[in-house]
Each structure stands twice: as C-alpha cells, then as structure tokens.
Structure 1
Amino acid sequence: MAPYESDDAPGAARDEDARTGRRRAARYAVPVAVVGVAAATIGLVPALADSGDPDLPRISAEQLVQKIAASDVQRLSGTVKITTDLGLPDLGGLEKGMLSGAAQGSGDGSSADPRAKLTELVSGTHTVRVAADGPDRQKLSLLEGGEEYSLIHNGKDVWGYDSRSNEVHHSTGAGSGKDHGAEPPTTPEDFADEALKSVDDTTSVTVDGTAQVAGRDAYKLLIKPRQSGTTVGAISIAVDARTGLPLKFTLTPKSGGAAVLDAGFTQVSFARPAASAFDFTPPKGAKVTEEKEGAEAHEHAPEPGGFARELDGLKVLGKGWTSVAAFDTGAAGGLPTGPRSGDLGGFLGSLGDQVSGEFGKGTVFSTRLVNALITDDGKVYAGAVTKDALVKAADAGK
C-alpha cells in the first residue's frame, strides 16, 4: 500500500486533538518537490544518544503520520543542537560570509537582522535554545561561546539582539518571526513538516521501531525514496509517543557516511515557560534599528513570491525526489571570466566538474545532498539529485 507501508499491526491511535488533526492534516495532502526540502537544509545535530527502545503500542505508518499532523504543542522549552554537514569545501569561513552578506543585502544592514544572523546555521555546529507559549510568544537563542543571538516574538513585537555587536533589530506587526519570513527551520518539527509534504507515490513510509529521545518515548518513522537518481538515502523522524511532536529528524545521503541533517532535542519540557522569558528591553548603549514600514518598506521590499519570482522562468522538472529546479540567469558565458573577475571563474571551476551533453557544456557543483549544474549559456539546474540526473534534466530542458 503506497506510499505508506508497515509491518506493524493497525492499532487504535490516540485521539487527543483529533479536531486539530483534521485541520492540520491537509498540510500533508499536497506533495511538493524535494527541492523544497533541500533548500531548507540547515541541519540539526543528533540529540542525546538513544538510551533504549521503549515498549509502545503498535501503530501503522499512516496512523503515525496522522499523529504528527494532529500534534498541537503550544508550550515548550528546550535545547537543540545544530550542525550542517553538506560536505562543502573549507573556504576559511568565506562561504558563511558570502551567505550572510547576501542575506544582509535583502535586509537593512543590521547584524541583529534575523535574515543575516541566522544564516550562520548553514554550517558548523551550534546550540539553540527554544521556548514557546502559544502563537504570540516564541524565543530562539543561538549560543556561541559566551556570546548570544536572540530572536524574540512577543505580541506585535519581534526583536533580534546580537550580543557580539550590541545591536538590536526591531519590527512590529501581526504574526511571529516565521510569519515575517525571518526565521529558518530550527526544530525537528520544522524539518518534519517539509519532509512530509514531499510524501507521494514516489515514497515509502514505514514504522521503524521505537526510541528514546531527550528522555521521551518515541516512535520512529522512516521515509525512503523509491526513485533512483536522488541523493537522498532516507529520512528518520522520532515522534513523541504522547504528544506527536517530532523530537528528532535525521536525513542521510544515499552515498552513506554521517547524516547531512540530524535534528534533535537534547532537552525538552512541555511546561509553560515563564512570561519573563519573552520580555526584552534593548541594553544600554545598544544600536537599535527599526525595520522600515509602510511605503518606505515597500520601496525596498523584494517582489511578492521572493527569490523564485526574481528568476527568469523558474520551473520544476521531473517528479518527487528527482525533481530539479531550472531557471535562466540570463548571463550567457557560464562562470565569470575576464579581467574584471580576476581568477574567480577559474577558482569556482576548480570546485566543480566539467560536463557536457545535448544541452552543451557546463559545470556541476556538488555537495553531499544538493547538486547544481551551471551551463555555459547561463542556465541553472539544481536539486537533491545525482550529477547524471542533472545532465539528463538539462538535456530534456534544452
């Protein structure tokens, strides 16, 4: 029975929050390209090691997915470890600076702007503390040694504070930091939501036993692509047996080795956090940047639809896990060359593999999960697929 398969005998799933489940289950009804998952791949490192396999009532894969959809945890606090292992070359921090600079280019230049600061999660290992008390109060703190970056949503106010630079970013309006488009995925639930949207008839979903994560009994949901040509090996989601909240998310590449993405709580509590946890007053002497509003903000805001709308003819080729995003940069000539670019083209070219096909010639840049082909006539093909799959997509899109 596709895409759900399980050797577990069907059992009576817990029906708490059933009405909420019926409302939220629709978010998994429409499959999306796996490119969406790859684009959100800001990794979380493993939670505390499993301390045993708890004996839990048997449950089918479909029931477990429904349990996740029905989960409606409003209050929690905890600690998450964050790492990314895409297998990128070591550029001495250059790649992080480039990403941060690009993000700041869409913001207001403040180091406390979440669009700039949270790009640090794309590489390395990080510790994040999270807290939530309903839809109007959330807090995320990124800890780096003795320094801290905090993103606090309290009512209509969203504050970002960078202790390193003593800068504050402030915005107002309805919705949380995520509703403002500022906060990337930072918890196992965020990643699980994206993965479950990709479940369709190209996917196998099974129950893979039980585990204990951060002291909580959990079921393990295993998601595996049926298609060849994808770089995704498997996704494992540890689901809290009582609340249905994803506690751990692990994405392993088909090439094997360490997980590209391994998301897990090391500590979690479902008690209501203290109200003071969401209070914030700019420290004395801090530089405070107010986000532009009204006509001035509209003047500098990106076009509706974000990055995708800025690309020329963005389209998705293929289906499921072998989906490839294709767009035209309008910059024929491939990698930059010539006196103005110095040796940038040669440097970038040395990081990629030269390929050719019916589409012409180009360069493939590879990570352990996402690969991208830049053709000499300025087209880009990207996805969680192999190099050969990119060439085939480019040939088909010619």
Structure 2
Amino acid sequence: MAPYESDDSTTTGEVDDLSSGRRKAARYVVPVAVVGVAAATIGLVPALADSGDPDLPEITAAQLIEKIGQSDVQQLSGTVKISTDLGLPDLGGLGAGFASGAMGSGSGDGSSADPSAKLTELASGTHTLRVALDGENKQKLSLLENASEYSLIHNGKDVWGYDSKSNEVFHGTAEEAKDGQAKGGQKKEDVPATPKDFAEEALKAVDDTTSVTVDGTAQIAGRDAYRLLIKPKKSGTTVGAITVAVDARTGMPLKFTLTPSSGGAAVIDAGFTQVSFAKPAASTFDFTPPKGANVTEEDELEGRAREHGSTKSEDELRKEFDKELGGLKSEDKLGKAPEGRPEVIGEGWNSVAVFDTGGEGVPSGAEVGGDMGGFLDSLGDKVTGKFGSGTVFKTRLINALVTDDGKVYVGAVDKNALVEAADSGK
C-alpha cells in the first residue's frame, strides 16, 4: 500500500506535534523485561509475522505518535522471536568462554541465573521469548533454549531468575509500584526489550533532522497495524530507516525494524509473532525455587564483587553510568561538557560522543607481532587526519574511533563522519 504521506520533510509545526506526542508516549513504557535487566540491544528475525495490507482509515504521523502516547496497555502475553545482526566478528569459542566465566556456575563468583549476565546472550544469534505482563508489579520473560529455559519473573517485591539448565536461582527485591508510580528504590530496565520500548527510544530522536511519515499498513501477529517510518534527513549516519508497526486498535507498537544505511538485513527487527491483550493467569507469575536448586541472593553477588576489588554496588555503578551518559543531548555542540559527561560533536542522528581515556590508543599489529598482531589489525581500520592517527572499530550500527593519543569518538555514524568529528576537535 502506498504511504499516506510521501513528503520527506517535516514542518516546524509537525515537529512540535511530534515532540508533544513522544513526551506523552514516554509515560507509557511497557516494562515486560523486568527489574535489573542489563541486556544488550536485541532484535527480531526479519520477515516475522508480516502479511497483508489491511484497509484502515488514513492517519497522519503526528496523530499516530499521539496514538502511541495514549496507549496504556497493562496486560498482555505473547511470543517474540529474537535475532541480532550487528556484524560483529566471529570469536569462535572465545566469546562463549568469556560469557561462561562472567556468569559463573554457582560455585564461582557469579550465578548463571543472574539476569544482568544471562540476558546478554540476546546480543547475538536467534532466540525465542515468551512475555507476560499484568500491571507494573507483575512481569515475566522466558528465554527458550534447545533443551532448557531461562525465566525472569517480577511479582510484587520479588524478582526471580531461574536457569533450568544449571538449576540455579537468582533472587532480588524491588519496591512495589503504587498508583502507577514506582517507589524510589526500584530499579528500572535500562535497555529496550519490547517493540514499544524500542519505539519509545526512537521517538526521542525525532527532531528537525528527521523525516517522519506514515508508510501504509501491515498485519502483525494477526492484528491490523499502521507503519510509522522514521528516517534521518542527513547522510553520514549508519541508521537508514526505522519502521514501527503500531496496533490500530490499542496504539501499542507491535514491531520495530531498524535497517542500516549500508543496506542488507535489518540490524534490529523486534516484533510479536503472537500476542493477546487478555489478563494472564495469576499463576503465570508464581515462582518457588525447585528442590535442590542453588539460590543466590542479589546482595551475595554484590558482596563477591567487593571482594574482587569493586567497592561499589550494582546500583551505585548504574547511577554513575547514568550520570555519565544521561545528559547526552543532540543539541550539545563541541566544547567543555558538563562535569562528568562526554563532549558531543554534531547533532541528531549524526551526534558523536567524545571520551578522553587519558591513555594510549590501540597498539598496532606491528607493535604486538605474531598472530595476535594480525588479529588486532583485522578488527579495525587504520585512519589518519588532522587529529593524528587512530583505529576505527565498526559494527553495522555503532562505530568508534580510538585515536593514538587515547581519545574515543563513538556514534551511529560512518568512518568518514568519525574522522571529521576528530578533525573538528583539534
């Protein structure tokens, strides 16, 4: 079906409407992946549950964003397919070994049921998730594996993680939300985990550097939906386009697709294959540690971290990280950044964050020598400019330039944009 709006530009008035809509949308995040999750960016297999072009009433982009903002889905259950294609190099067994060591086996320093470690597996490969939600105090996410299952359950004050393969259990606590507001001590999910979470993040980037249109309709998981198309107006960014399929009835995003400017398969394609908005059974959120399971309390993990040199809790480290990145705004320009925050060069989708490590850059393959030297050279591209020289490390979405004098330039931009940013900083 042809787009309802084919104009690639967005007027000032529309930008104001879109900004207002996304502010309202930000109030309605659906917290399916629960307390304490620190997973990497995840996406869904392309070509999921997408069939037909239903005939729906015409709607503008501003109206569709407002519809997302008015959505207040509090109950659902469904199935999600997960896949990520960041174009990272294949490290063979090295990555698996590192992950295993980081998570531990119950007898070491960690727990395979710890959600902050377990859910990082979603950063690559293909996975199937089952999700359930009943208000802000009851959520469940299950990661289905070949012959096992990992579940993360939030029920009232309790947060449980269970790895059936190792028969290990993680237990943490959270203060219950009342009247739609989480109490001060409750942790929040830091990374998008559902199509709506991804959409909320994308809508924050809508400004005058962005084209926003309604690009026809689709049917997702058996439900009629509108397609919201978000595209950067300027070249230089690795983001080609973002498409959000919005349920025509509830206004809830059902699918989120991010395609790179370089073309090819989607980097992120997050969508439901099956979804119901009926109230899940109360028993869905019940959990009792199985007989013989090894149970690890959250404060035990924090205590072990202190024993190994860290004197700060996960909460304290998260707050420091949030302070470091929380003030990063597209309108910031090069100059002295607020204390504790990175400098920013550029605006909108072409923003580049600048960190000064105060140390040396990445050693060259020649300096290291041997097979390891060749491996290092294969990971990045050597570049030069007014700034000097450095190495660009690339994925299909986020790229980073590490200069030989220890500065790091990071953004969803291509190699040339990183070099230009480094040159402008001199």
TM-score normalised by length of structure 1: 0.84
Q: What is aligned with 2:17?
A: none
Query: Per the alignment, in what secondary structure is the counterpart of residue 395 of structure 1?
Result: helix
User: Are 2:335 and 1:322 equivalent residues in the alignment?
Assistant: no
Cα distance in structure 2, aligned partners of 1:118 and 1:235: 24
TM-aligned CA deviation for residue 317 of structure 1: 1.8
Contact 1:114 1:183 in 2 (8 A): no
1:169-195 per-position Cα deviation (integer Å, ceiling 9, x unaligned)? 101121589952566422111111110
User: Are 2:239 and 1:227 equivalent residues in the alignment?
Assistant: no
Cα distance in structure 1, aligned partners of 2:265 and 2:87: 10
Q: What is aligned with 2:91?
A: 91
User: Are 2:267 and 1:253 equivalent residues in the alignment?
Assistant: no
- The runs of 5 or more residues in structure 2 that have no matched partner are 8-19, 28-38, 326-339
Cα distance in structure 2, aligned partners of 1:100 and 1:6: 49
Q: What is aligned with 2:321?
A: 307
TM-aligned CA deviation for residue 51 of structure 1: 2.3
Q: In the TM superposition, what are the counterparts of 1:235-250 in structure 2 within 5 Å? A: 235-250=242-257
TM-aligned CA deviation for residue 337 of structure 1: 7.9
Cα distance in structure 2, aligned partners of 1:55 and 1:269: 22
Query: Per the alignment, in what secondary structure is the counterpart of residue 92 of structure 2?
Result: coil
User: Are 2:161 and 1:160 equivalent residues in the alignment?
Assistant: yes
Contact 1:365 1:372 in 2 (8 A): yes
Q: What is aligned with 2:394?
A: 366
Contact 2:168 2:293 in 1 (8 A): yes
AA at the equivalent of 1:300: S
Query: Per the alignment, in what secondary structure is the counterpart of residue 290 of structure 2?
Result: coil
Q: Structure 1 pair 67/108, CA: closer, same or farther in 2 (3 Å)?
A: farther
User: Are 2:379 and 1:378 equivalent residues in the alignment?
Assistant: no
User: Are 2:127 and 1:121 equivalent residues in the alignment?
Assistant: no
Q: What is aligned with 2:144?
A: 143
TM-aligned CA deviation for residue 316 of structure 1: 2.3
AA at the equivalent of 2:65: V
Cα distance in structure 2, aligned partners of 1:382 and 1:353: 15
Q: Structure 1 pair 186/329, CA: closer, same or farther in 2 (3 Å)?
A: same
Q: Structure 1 pair 81/179, CA: closer, same or farther in 2 (3 Å)?
A: farther
TM-aligned CA deviation for residue 160 of structure 1: 0.6
Cα distance in structure 1, aligned partners of 2:341 and 2:22: 34
User: Are 2:356 and 1:355 equivalent residues in the alignment?
Assistant: no
Cα distance in structure 2, aligned partners of 1:368 and 1:339: 28
Cα distance in structure 2, aligned partners of 1:314 and 1:197: 19
Contact 1:303 1:310 in 2 (8 A): no
Contact 1:42 1:122 in 2 (8 A): yes
Contact 2:400 2:411 in 1 (8 A): yes
The Cα RMSD (Å) is: 3.2
Q: What is aligned with 1:54?
A: 54
TM-aligned CA deviation for residue 27 of structure 1: 3.3
Q: What is aligned with 1:69?
A: 69
Query: Per the alignment, in what secondary structure is the counterpart of residue 90 of structure 2?
Result: coil
Contact 1:100 1:120 in 2 (8 A): no
AA at the equivalent of 1:88: L
Cα distance in structure 2, aligned partners of 1:69 and 1:103: 38
1:133-172 per-position Cα deviation (integer Å, ceiling 9, x unaligned)? 0010000000111211100000000001111111111011
TM-score normalised by length of structure 2: 0.79
1:307-359 per-position Cα deviation (integer Å, ceiling 9, x unaligned)? 36579752222110001121122221423889999865542222111001111
Cα distance in structure 1, aligned partners of 2:369 and 2:138: 47
Contact 1:103 1:119 in 2 (8 A): no
Contact 1:43 1:260 in 2 (8 A): yes
Query: Per the alignment, in what secondary structure is the counterpart of residue 305 of structure 1?
Result: helix
AA at the equivalent of 2:321: F
1:42-79 per-position Cα deviation (integer Å, ceiling 9, x unaligned)? 22223634221111111000000011111110000000
Q: What is aligned with 1:274?
A: 281
Equivalent pairs counted in the alignment come to: 370
TM-aligned CA deviation for residue 123 of structure 1: 0.3
AA at the equivalent of 2:154: H
AA at the equivalent of 1:132: L
Cα distance in structure 2, aligned partners of 1:43 and 1:122: 8
Contact 2:174 2:186 in 1 (8 A): no
Cα distance in structure 2, aligned partners of 1:372 and 1:88: 13
AA at the equivalent of 1:166: N
Pick the aligned partner of 1:286 from 275, 293, 309. Answer: 293
AA at the equivalent of 2:26: R
Cα distance in structure 1, aligned partners of 2:189 and 2:103: 10
Contact 1:114 1:182 in 2 (8 A): no
AA at the equivalent of 1:358: K
Cα distance in structure 1, aligned partners of 2:159 and 2:246: 30
Moved more, 373-382 or 332-341: 332-341
Q: Structure 1 pair 179/232, CA: closer, same or farther in 2 (3 Å)?
A: farther
Q: Structure 1 pair 61/52, CA: closer, same or farther in 2 (3 Å)?
A: same
1:199-249 per-position Cα deviation (integer Å, ceiling 9, x unaligned)? 111000000000000000000000000011101110000000000000010
Q: Structure 1 pair 182/115, CA: closer, same or farther in 2 (3 Å)?
A: farther
Cα distance in structure 1, aligned partners of 2:322 and 2:99: 17
Q: Structure 1 pair 171/57, CA: closer, same or farther in 2 (3 Å)?
A: same
TM-aligned CA deviation for residue 94 of structure 1: 3.0
Moved more, 47-56 or 209-218: 47-56
Query: Per the alignment, in what secondary structure is the counterpart of residue 44 of structure 1?
Result: coil
